[in-house]
Amino acid sequence: MIRRIVVMTLVTGLFVSLAGWAGPALNSLVIGSTQEPSNLCPWEGSADTKENLMGIFNIGLTFFDSEGVLQPGLATELPTEANGRLAVIRDADGQVTRQQVVWTIRDDAYWSDGVPITSDDAIFTFKVQNTTEMMVTTRAFSNLIEEIIKVDDKSFQIIYKTPNLFYANVGGSIGLARHYDIAPKHIWEPIYDQVMEAITANPENASTIIQGQFLGSSPSTGTGTVVGSGAFEFVEWQINQFIRFTRRADFFLDPPGPVANYLQEVTVRYIVAQPTLLSGIIAGEIEASDDIGLAGLDPVILKAQLGNQGVVDVTPSGFIEKLNFNLFPQCQTAVDLLLGDKRTRQAIIQAIDREDLARTVYPGASVSNSFLVAGDIGFDETLKAWEYDPAAASALLADLGWTDSDGNGILERTVDGKVIEFRLHWVATTADFRMRTGEVLLEMLADVGIKLEVENLPGSVVFSSEYLNYGSECTWRGIVEYAEGGGIGQAPADPLSNELWANDLLEVPVDAVLENTPLPENSFGGTNITGWVSAEFDQMRAEALQEFDLAKRSAIVVLMQQLYNEELPTVPLYDRSEVVTKMTGLVNYVKGTAAARTQFWNAWEWGWEQNGAVAVR
């Protein structure tokens, strides 16, 4: 009896184990990721993890294809002036002052439960987005919209109070998170009504009610009915483990061949530890990775580990790793080190062999010279590249009065009788590649007499506003290194929608109020954590944001990059690459360009060659 049980267990176990290799056999795909989304609520959060996931079972009015070209998704066509869907009103100077866009949803667009997608869904989505009490992550884009009017069951008109050049980009239409624009009214309206009723009865507990009943609702937590507009429909979410989807029969975009030849099921498995994820990939349990889980791994080594069973893709991420300087005159350490003088920053960039650094710590990454990346509107390919030149760096530092008079290898200068050594505080997170960066920079800067004081802290500390925004209080005294999206591909794909280092926001002419620079006067709010003050940069940014002519806007952005490149409020190190693996035979699993920002833009085309799927990407 016992022997029988053991044999049965082993046989069943073998069968179950083989299920992990069943990708092509079962026409399914298991994707591995290290980051799980918080919820499935369309109005909350738009981080990469959620964007990727939502892309499997949702589609926006438009989407970027793998070439970075915008394509209609739910919409029948892209709105343009030529087809009459885009209407702009210009003032006497030719500046666009008003803008209206008409969208029409495809007749064959249905939610995964069979309910037609209509303009009522779009209007409801905007209504929730604009509800004051509602917990939406950002209103930066929806605030550009004055109102949305229903034209008919399938068409709606968006009237902008602030012209939006990127009205057609994913998320740019209604201002929701990336990769989806419209939420299902028939699912969310009952929940919304109930929540608003509860808030009306109990306004002081609005936050608790929304967290519990809206964000905690069954469509948000995946414990109830979850419907989407995309190629796959939601099946189940085992929290901290996996989310499963199956193919819809009624999706309006077809793969390049019989649907049966393409994936019928997709499962995303969440594995927190990268080594365990990698083990699963090499063991064949995970058939593809997303563009998040394998960050920082060497693609060459990864390819060697995978051998013939898999392929490794390396694509630009659109995130630029950079050194941010403390330029606050309130921070004495930064003042002593003359970080506010651009020659210091120019010396530091020339003291760093950025090619070597990128190759060493982030294989596959390419050196960056701008705050934008290729594909961004206005990206200047001809921007001067600061070459590695330690001699020039040393000369600049000497001009600034730094000498190594005591021969200890560290530059010093004397100010009011006090000897100041060039000890530069450098802080970054504890990610492996950043810890390696600290070691590399330590050596490179030592060659020009700068002693780097390396400090690695948990990301939750580095990125906390109490730390990052308190540069004027010298919480970080020299450099903080992290990566930031240049703004490309972010809804509405406006590189300037990221407030970057603007001191002042959206006002021409620039006034004296430093709204965006964290100081005690504004409760340390704002994103200009370096404290760089450039009225010229602010002026150009404000003008560019209001420029509706792409060519003119590009010209302004080029000038902004040139100013940035000269002043170097931050030193761009490299554009981080993204490493994605996929098993041999998986076709059309292609990340879009960095502009598109998402790996999961074309789930309906994914398939196994072994099953007759045709590769078109």
Binding residues among 465-504 for another protein as defined by CB under 8 A: 465-467, 484-485, 487, 490-491, 497-499
By CB under 8 A, name the one of 3, 84, 249, 275 that touches another protein.
275
DSSP state of 144: G
Instruction: Name which of 139 and 303 has its Cβ closer to another protein.
Output: 139
CB 597 within 8 A of CB 178: yes
By CB under 8 A, name the one of 16, 82, 249, 512 that touches another protein.
16
Q: Of the ranges 146-154, 214-222, 325-333, 545-553, which one interacts with another protein (CB under 8 A)?
A: 214-222
Count of residues in contact with another protein, rule CB under 8 A: 80
Question: What gap in Å lies between CA 456 and CA 427, rounded to an integer?
Answer: 6
Q: What distances in angstroms separate CA 517 from CA 382, 443, 504, 521, 535, one per listed residue?
A: 30, 32, 8, 10, 13
In the structure, how many helices (H) and strands (E) does the chain have? 18, 21
Near another protein in 507-536, by CB under 8 A: 515-516, 522, 525-527
Q: What six digits make up the tokens of 119?
A: 């303009």
| Least distance between another protein and beta carbon 459 (Å) | 8
Q: What six digits make up the tokens of 321?
A: 């790793």
Backbone phi and psi for residue 419, each to the nearest 5 degrees, phi listed first:
-85, 125
Q: What six digits make up the tokens of 160?
A: 């902008």
DSSP state of 57: H
Near another protein in 248-267, by CB under 8 A: 265, 267
Near another protein in 129-158, by CB under 8 A: 135, 137-141
Instruction: Name which of 200 and 403 has its Cβ closer to another protein.
Output: 200
Query: Mask: binding to another protein, 40-69, rule CB under 8 A, as x and -?
Result: -x---xxxx---------------------
Query: Does residue 202 interact with another protein by CB under 8 A?
Result: no
| Least distance between another protein and beta carbon 467 (Å) | 5
| Least distance between another protein and beta carbon 281 (Å) | 9
Backbone phi and psi for residue 80, each to the nearest 5 degrees, phi listed first:
-140, 170
10 Å Cβ neighbour count for 272? 12
Backbone phi and psi for residue 481, each to the nearest 5 degrees, phi listed first:
-110, 130
Instruction: Name which of 241 and 405 has its Cβ closer to another protein.
Output: 241
Query: Mask: binding to another protein, 226-245, rule CB under 8 A, as x and -?
Result: ------------xxxxx-x-
CB 396 within 8 A of CB 332: no
| Least distance between another protein and beta carbon 195 (Å) | 13
| Least distance between another protein and beta carbon 309 (Å) | 9
Instruction: Name which of 349 and 557 has its Cβ closer to another protein.
Output: 557
- Map 181-234 to HEC letters: CCCCHHHHHHHHHHHHHHHHHCHHHHHHHHHHHHCCCHHHHCCCCCCCCCCEEE
Angle, CA of 83, 85 and 89, to the nearest 5°? 110
| Least distance between another protein and beta carbon 587 (Å) | 22
Query: Mask: binding to another protein, 556-595, rule CB under 8 A, as x and -?
Result: ----------------------------------------
Query: Does residue 390 interact with another protein by CB under 8 A?
Result: no
Instruction: Name which of 141 and 422 has its Cβ closer to another protein.
Output: 141
Give the closest residue to 211 by CA, choosing from 291, 141, 135.
135
| Least distance between another protein and beta carbon 115 (Å) | 24
Instruction: Name which of 83 and 211 has its Cβ closer to another protein.
Output: 211
| Least distance between another protein and beta carbon 446 (Å) | 30
- Return the H-helix or E-strand segment holding 350: helix 342-351
Question: What gap in Å lies between CA 75 and CA 112, rounded to an integer?
Answer: 17
Instruction: Name which of 421 and 494 has its Cβ closer to another protein.
Output: 494
Question: What gap in Å lies between CA 34 and CA 236, rounded to an integer?
Answer: 18
CB 571 within 8 A of CB 441: no
By CB under 8 A, name the one of 1, 2, 82, 273 that touches another protein.
273
Query: Does residue 19 interact with another protein by CB under 8 A?
Result: yes
By CB under 8 A, name the one of 207, 225, 408, 414 that touches another protein.
207
Near another protein in 284-343, by CB under 8 A: 284-285
Question: What gap in Å lies between CA 421 and CA 271, rounded to an integer?
Answer: 46
Alpha helices in 44-108 (DSSP H): 48-57
